[in-house]
Structures are given as structure tokens and as C-alpha cells.
């Protein structure tokens, strides 16, 4: 008897697959991409009653095997066993939203026709009951010919029964996993399947009241033509306020920890090359980046909350008209909002956009959304050169400048979209077709799992790309050593390099340390701050490599027009190798990433220069 190796969750979008996946596998998940496509592959371990565990994978939500998007295509290929390097699942867990049976049974029939051993998870039965639906799982099982297990993923109900059913499916799957799939009945048309779905749903429904109170009353307000948009904008305002206000104590704690580590290294080790390497290189560089973890977590917490409650789709609805004005659709709002945290998940989220031109445009403008990697740059420079005064009740000048930088990015993106849509990505105006899922109370555990995954991605970046770039830069700054009376920065390899490219940046007001920071910042924007911190630390040979020390250095050395030009540069400049790599993978080639690099660097140069000269002219 062959034992089951792998099971997969399949079902419509919004059937609650991810919540079920989290409940079945716990927090230990492996998130990766399917080879060749940027579709997230989530895998975990499902414990069977026998004590054995099998691999469970969460497939992207799908409406049909007649696919309309790259993630639906992944689901189809994996289920059919056509995905290279990905064995066909031995058991399928077909997840149905109990309150949406008639709709979800259409795709479920398509899946069950394949003849792979399957179990139906009748999910969210509690919400169905809230909506006045009473279902009969036994009757559904009778019609479909597979076991049906009622579940409430977020309340962990029905999970052990589901594991039992998976184990029981082992008997059926014995030896069959390598055999040929029975040919699905191709003569069944979509309308026939839909009619069958209606009849099956009817047979499985014991009683039904037409009430949908919670949804319609919330939507009456949140989708109201005049109330909906102000509510969304107010929410976005609160989110960005929270990112700065709430993160402060945590940032302070991380800074203190960094200083403590620095002091400890200084006191525990004799003065040496290696000690300088640790304090000036590693702690100064990586520390100045990790400090921004709290802000990233807060922004992602709001995004996850909006997604898991079902509000995100409403936000897309509200934004659609506005996005249509620049040739996009409400669908693009979700990737673009994610890009405020990081362009990488943002660009990956564009895969749900069906129209290719629409998707390409969204990918090209995603780097203009002010991602959290720019925050270190903005925060340090604003704190250094913009006075902390109030320009109105409760409105600080520093906050206003930061707000202006966000707005500049958004406006830049809108104009870029408009231009791109009428030139390189010209095409028919794209549509907007999107399911608005039911509102739901999110589960804290699911939010925490999502947050942990994103925080981990950031920390891994800090530990790899940023760490490496910082060390290389520190070495280039330290060698060759300056003779008595020489400036270390002037003598170093890094200093020589920046002197060489300096003439190109002189006209837009950049000084040499800034030019120097731009080169390693290609690895990741935050490295600009790490680089400035390391540069000034090496130059001053100081023991203080904190953010505060860097702020003082900038305040003392940079003129206001120079600092503003640097900020303007970072609004547009595509400093991020990971974004470029993801864009290459998503667009299958170098053409579009190069277009992205070209137009963004051109914008950055023009706007930094304009900012510099306008500031000079205004006498700042």
C-alpha cells in the first residue's frame, strides 16, 4: 500500500483556504516561489491521526481550470501533475465556502471530475449559519461521492475530522498516484455545470433565509458613493500616522540595544582592526536598517488586517474610478498599497491582475510608491535638516515634508501610468472584475503568522544583502589606510570611486559622501543610510555610530538645498536590486526592468536637480 505523501488545498478565492492551511499546519510553513513564476508556494506539515505527517500545500485560489491569470495557471498545472518538479498531490482537499455553495460548487465539480482522491471541507459553516443557512453535509457527500467535513478554520473546528478523512483517503489512493488520470468529461459545459451546482446546493441546503445583514449594512456605508471614499482616505491617513507615531518606542528600544551592543564590544575587546570592523562596519550598517522593522511591521499589520477582514476589495472598488483616470483599475490599488511597505510583495501581488498591459503598468510604477526602505533615508535626513517646528495646530513641519515626499511619489506614479498607458503599454482601457468577499473577523494567529513571514523576509535582507554591502563598503572605506595628515575618506578606494563619478552629480547639488552612498544603495535603499553612517564613522573614527550621530553630522555638513535634492532623488530612483530581479522574473526578460531603471533614474536626476536649483533660487 502506498502511503500519502502530499495533499493540496484547492478552491475558489475567498473560500478560506489560507485560514484552513494555517489552522492545519500551524506556524511552521515554508514560503517559497514555484520555479519560474512568482507565485507563492506555501507548504507545511499536516499531522495525521497515525502520528505520521504529510506535506500540505496551499494552492492559489481559482475559479476554473480554464485559467485567466498566472496563479490560476499554477493551480491547474499542479493539480494536473503538469508542473515540472512538482509531483501531483495524492489527495485534494476541496475547500468550499458553506455560504457560497452554489458558486463554489462550479469549480469543485471540475476538480472532482479529475478522479483524484478528494475530501470536501465545507468551510466557514458558522458564517453560513449567521447568514441563515442550514446545510446537510451528509446529503452533499451523497451527491458528490466524496467525504464532506464541516469546518470553521478560524475556530479550529472540524480539523481532526479533516485529518481523519485525509488518512482514510489513503486506502483509495493506494498505488493510484502514479497512474493515468481519468479523462475528465469534456462534454460538460459551464452552463451545465452551473445548473448542476445549483441543484447540488439546493439538495444540501436544509433551510435558507435571504438575510445578509452584516454585509449589506457595512457595504451601505463603506461603498457609499459619498461616504466610502472619505472613509478610505481617513483610514489611509490613520495608517501612515500610526506607522510613525506607534513605532517610536520600539525604534528607541532597538537603538538602545544597538548602543548597548556597541558599548559592550568596545569595552570587551582591545582596540583592533576587528573591533572597528564590528562597530563601524557591522553594527553601524546593519543596526541603522533593523531600526525600521517596527514601521514595516505596523504598515503590514494594517494591510493584513484590511485583507483578512475583506475591506481591501472594497478599497479597490472605491479607488477604481480614480485609477481608471490614469488607465488602470481598482485591482492595481492592492499591489500599489502593498508597495508602500515593499515593492517586492507589491509586484508579486500584480499577478491577480488579468489584463497584461494593466499588470505591466502597475509593475513599472510600483517602485514609485514610498516603500519602507526609503524611510530610513527620509527619516534621518528630515530629522537632520528640517526644524521640528509646527506649521499649524498639531501639524509638524517634519511630518509635512514626509507627507509631501509620499505625495510626490504617488503623483509621479499617476503621471507615469498615464504616460506609459499611452506609449509603451498602450492598449484598450482595462476592466475591473473582482469578487467582494464577505466581511470577517480576522483571527489574531493568522495575522501574526502573516506578520512574522514578512518581518522575516526583511530581517533576512538585513542579514544578507545589507550586511554584505555594508561590509564591502567598510573595507573599501578603510583601505588603503590614510597617512598622517590625510583624510581617510579621500584616500580610500571608495572615496576615489566617488570622486570619479562625482562630476555627474555635482550639477544636482550632491556632495561626495552622497554620491558614495548611491553606489552601495543599489543593493537596497536602506544601505544609503548605512553607508553614510559608516562613512562618517570611519572618517571621524568615532565610537558613536548611532543614528543620532549621523543626524548631527548631516546637519553640520549638508546645506538645505543639497539635503532636499537627496530626498527628491530617493522619491524616484530605483535603488533596489531585489525589485529589479522580481520585475525581471515577472515580465520574463530584461526589457521591462531596463525600461523601469531608465525612466526612474531619469526622473530622479531631473527632480533632484530641479529641487536643488529651486531651493537655491528661493534662498533656502
Which residues of this chain interact with other proteins, rule CB under 8 A?
Answer: 63-64, 66, 68, 99-100, 102-103, 106-107, 131, 190-191, 194, 212, 215-216, 219, 223-226, 228-229, 313, 316-318, 320-321, 324, 329-330, 354-355, 428, 431-436
Distance of CA 235 to the CA centre of its chain: 19
CB nearer to other proteins: give 313 or 405.
313
Minimum distance from residue 220 beta carbon to other proteins (Å): 8
CB nearer to other proteins: give 111 or 527.
111
CB nearer to other proteins: give 123 or 534.
123
C-alpha cell at 177: 498516484
CB nearer to other proteins: give 191 or 387.
191
By CB neighbour count within 10 A (0-12 exposed, 13-18 middle, 19+ buried), where does 529 fall? buried
Minimum distance from residue 442 beta carbon to other proteins (Å): 19
C-alpha cell at 217: 449594512
How many C-beta neighbours within 10 Å does residue 590 have? Answer: 12
Measure the CA–CA gap between 510 and 487, rounded to whole angstroms.
19
b/e code 18-29 from CB counts within 10 Å (16+ = b): bbbbbbbbeeeb
Measure the CA–CA gap between 137 and 290, rounded to whole angstroms.
50
C-alpha cell at 271: 582596540
CB nearer to other proteins: give 99 or 537.
99
In SS3 terms, 135-171 reads as: ECHHHHHHHHCCCEEEEEHHHCECHHHHHHHHHHHHH
CA dihedral sign of residues 238, 239, 242, 244: negative
Residue with cell string 495524492: 90
Minimum distance from residue 339 beta carbon to other proteins (Å): 21
CB nearer to other proteins: give 161 or 219.
219
- CB-side neighbour CA atoms (13 Å) of 568: 23
Residue with cell string 529651486: 614
Minimum distance from residue 99 beta carbon to other proteins (Å): 6
Minimum distance from residue 235 beta carbon to other proteins (Å): 15
Minimum distance from residue 127 beta carbon to other proteins (Å): 10
Full DSSP string of 98-123: GGGHHHHHHHHHHHHTT---EEEEEE
CB nearer to other proteins: give 202 or 460.
202
Minimum distance from residue 312 beta carbon to other proteins (Å): 12
Minimum distance from residue 68 beta carbon to other proteins (Å): 5
DSSP 8-state secondary structure symbol assigned to residue 439: P
Asked if residue 24 lies in contact with residue 142, where contact means CB atoms within 8 angstroms, the answer is: no
CB nearer to other proteins: give 102 or 552.
102
Distance of CA 392 to the CA centre of its chain: 35
Residue 45: name the closest of 28, 69, 23, 67 by CA: 28
CB nearer to other proteins: give 438 or 575.
438
Minimum distance from residue 206 beta carbon to other proteins (Å): 16
Residue 291 φ then ψ, to 5°: -55, -20
CB nearer to other proteins: give 233 or 237.
233
Minimum distance from residue 227 beta carbon to other proteins (Å): 10
Asked if residue 476 lies in contact with residue 464, where contact means CB atoms within 8 angstroms, the answer is: no
Minimum distance from residue 97 beta carbon to other proteins (Å): 9
Measure the CA–CA gap between 536 and 93, rounded to whole angstroms.
58
- Cα angle, residue 28 at apex, residues 27 and 29 outer, rounded to 5°: 100
CB nearer to other proteins: give 333 or 569.
333
Element (H, E) at 452: helix 444-461
* Cβ partners under 8 Å of residue 6, min gap 6: 54, 55, 56, 57, 87, 89, 90, 91
CB nearer to other proteins: give 231 or 560.
231
Minimum distance from residue 329 beta carbon to other proteins (Å): 8
CB nearer to other proteins: give 64 or 502.
64
Minimum distance from residue 318 beta carbon to other proteins (Å): 6
Minimum distance from residue 219 beta carbon to other proteins (Å): 6
Give the three-class secondary structure for 396.
strand
* Cβ partners under 8 Å of residue 512, min gap 6: 489, 495, 498, 499, 502
CB nearer to other proteins: give 17 or 374.
17
Measure the CA–CA gap between 70 and 222, rounded to whole angstroms.
30
Amino acid at each position: 500500500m502506498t502511503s500519502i505523501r502530499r495533499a493540496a488545498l484547492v478552491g475558489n478565492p475567498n473560500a478560506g483556504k489560507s485560514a484552513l492551511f494555517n489552522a492545519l499546519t500551524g506556524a511552521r510553513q515554508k514560503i517559497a516561489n514555484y520555479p519560474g513564476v512568482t507565485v507563492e508556494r506555501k507548504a507545511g506539515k499536516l499531522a495525521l491521526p497515525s502520528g505520521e505527517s504529510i506535506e500540505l500545500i496551499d494552492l492559489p485560489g481559482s475559479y476554473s481550470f480554464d485559467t485567466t491569470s498566472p496563479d490560476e495557471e499554477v493551480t491547474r498545472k499542479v493539480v494536473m501533475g503538469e508542473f515540472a518538479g512538482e509531483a501531483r498531490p495524492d489527495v485534494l482537499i476541496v475547500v468550499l465556502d458553506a455560504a457560497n455553495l452554489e458558486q463554489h460548487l462550479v469549480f469543485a465539480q471540475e476538480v472532482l471530475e479529475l478522479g483524484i482522491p478528494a475530501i470536501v471541507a465545507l468551510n466557514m459553516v458558522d458564517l453560513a449559519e449567521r447568514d441563515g443557512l442550514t446545510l446537510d453535509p451528509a446529503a452533499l457527500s451523497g451527491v458528490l461521492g466524496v467525504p464532506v467535513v464541516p469546518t470553521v478554520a478560524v475556530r479550529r473546528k472540524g480539523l481532526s475530522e479533516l485529518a481523519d478523512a485525509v488518512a482514510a483517503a489513503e486506502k483509495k489512493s493506494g498505488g493510484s498516484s502514479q497512474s493515468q488520470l481519468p479523462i475528465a468529461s469534456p462534454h460538460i459545459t459551464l452552463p451545465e455545470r452551473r445548473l448542476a451546482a445549483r441543484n447540488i446546493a439546493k439538495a444540501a441546503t436544509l433551510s435558507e433565509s435571504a438575510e445578509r445583514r452584516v454585509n449589506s449594512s457595512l457595504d451601505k456605508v463603506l461603498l457609499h458613493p459619498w461616504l466610502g471614499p472619505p472613509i478610505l482616505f481617513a483610514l489611509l491617513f490613520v495608517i501612515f500616522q500610526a506607522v510613525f507615531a506607534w513605532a517610536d518606542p520600539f525604534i528607541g528600544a532597538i537603538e538602545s540595544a544597538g548602543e548597548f551592543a556597541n558599548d559592550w564590544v568596545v569595552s570587551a575587546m582591545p582596540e583592533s582592526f576587528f573591533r572597528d570592523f564590528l562597530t563601524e562596519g557591522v553594527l553601524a550598517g546593519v543596526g541603522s536598517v533593523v531600526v525600521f522593522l517596527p514601521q514595516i511591521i505596523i504598515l503590514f499589520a494594517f494591510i493584513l488586517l484590511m485583507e483578512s477582514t475583506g475591506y481591501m476589495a472594497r478599497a479597490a472598488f472605491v479607488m477604481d474610478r480614480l485609477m481608471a483616470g490614469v488607465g488602470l483599475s481598482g485591482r492595481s490599488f492592492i499591489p500599489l498599497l502593498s508597495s508602500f511597505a515593499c515593492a517586492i510583495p507589491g509586484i508579486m501581488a500584480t499577478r491577480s491582475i488579468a489584463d497584461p498591459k494593466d499588470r505591466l503598468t502597475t509593475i513599472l510604477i510600483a517602485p514609485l510608491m514610498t516603500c519602507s526602505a526609503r524611510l530610513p533615508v527620509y527619516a534621518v535626513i528630515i530629522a537632520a535638516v528640517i526644524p521640528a517646528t509646527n506649521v499649524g495646530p498639531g501639524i509638524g513641519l517634519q511630518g509635512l515634508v514626509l507627507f509631501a515626499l509620499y505625495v510626490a511619489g504617488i503623483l509621479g506614479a499617476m503621471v507615469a501610468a498615464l504616460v506609459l498607458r499611452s506609449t509603451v503599454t498602450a492598449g484598450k482601457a482595462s476592466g475591473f472584475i473582482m469578487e467582494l468577499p464577505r466581511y470577517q473577523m480576522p483571527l489574531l494567529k493568522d495575522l501574526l503568522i502573516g506578520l512574522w513571514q514578512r518581518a522575516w523576509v526583511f530581517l533576512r535582507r538585513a542579514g544578507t544583502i545589507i550586511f554584505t554591502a555594508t561590509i564591502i563598503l567598510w573595507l573599501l572605506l578603510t583601505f588603503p589606510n590614510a597617512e598622517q595628515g590625510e583624510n581617510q575618506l579621500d584616500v580610500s578606494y571608495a572615496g576615489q570611486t566617488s570622486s570619479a563619478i562625482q562630476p555627474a552629480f555635482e550639477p544636482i547639488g550632491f556632495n561626495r559622501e552622497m554620491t558614495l552612498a548611491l553606489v552601495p544603495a543599489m543593493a537596497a535603499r536602506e544601505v544609503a543610510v548605512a553607508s553614510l553612517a559608516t562613512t562618517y564613522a570611519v572618517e571621524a573614527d568615532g565610537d558613536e555610530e548611532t543614528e543620532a550621530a549621523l543626524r548631527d553630522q548631516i546637519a553640520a555638513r549638508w546645506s538645505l538645498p543639497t539635503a532636499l535634492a537627496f530626498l527628491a532623488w530617493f522619491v524616484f530612483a530605483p535603488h533596489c536590486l531585489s525589485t529589479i530581479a522580481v520585475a525581471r522574473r515577472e515580465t520574463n526578460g530584461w526589457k521591462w526592468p531596463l525600461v523601469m531603471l531608465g525612466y526612474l533614474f531619469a526622473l530622479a536626476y531631473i527632480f533632484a536637480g530641479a529641487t536643488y536649483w529651486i531651493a537655491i533660487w528661493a534662498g533656502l
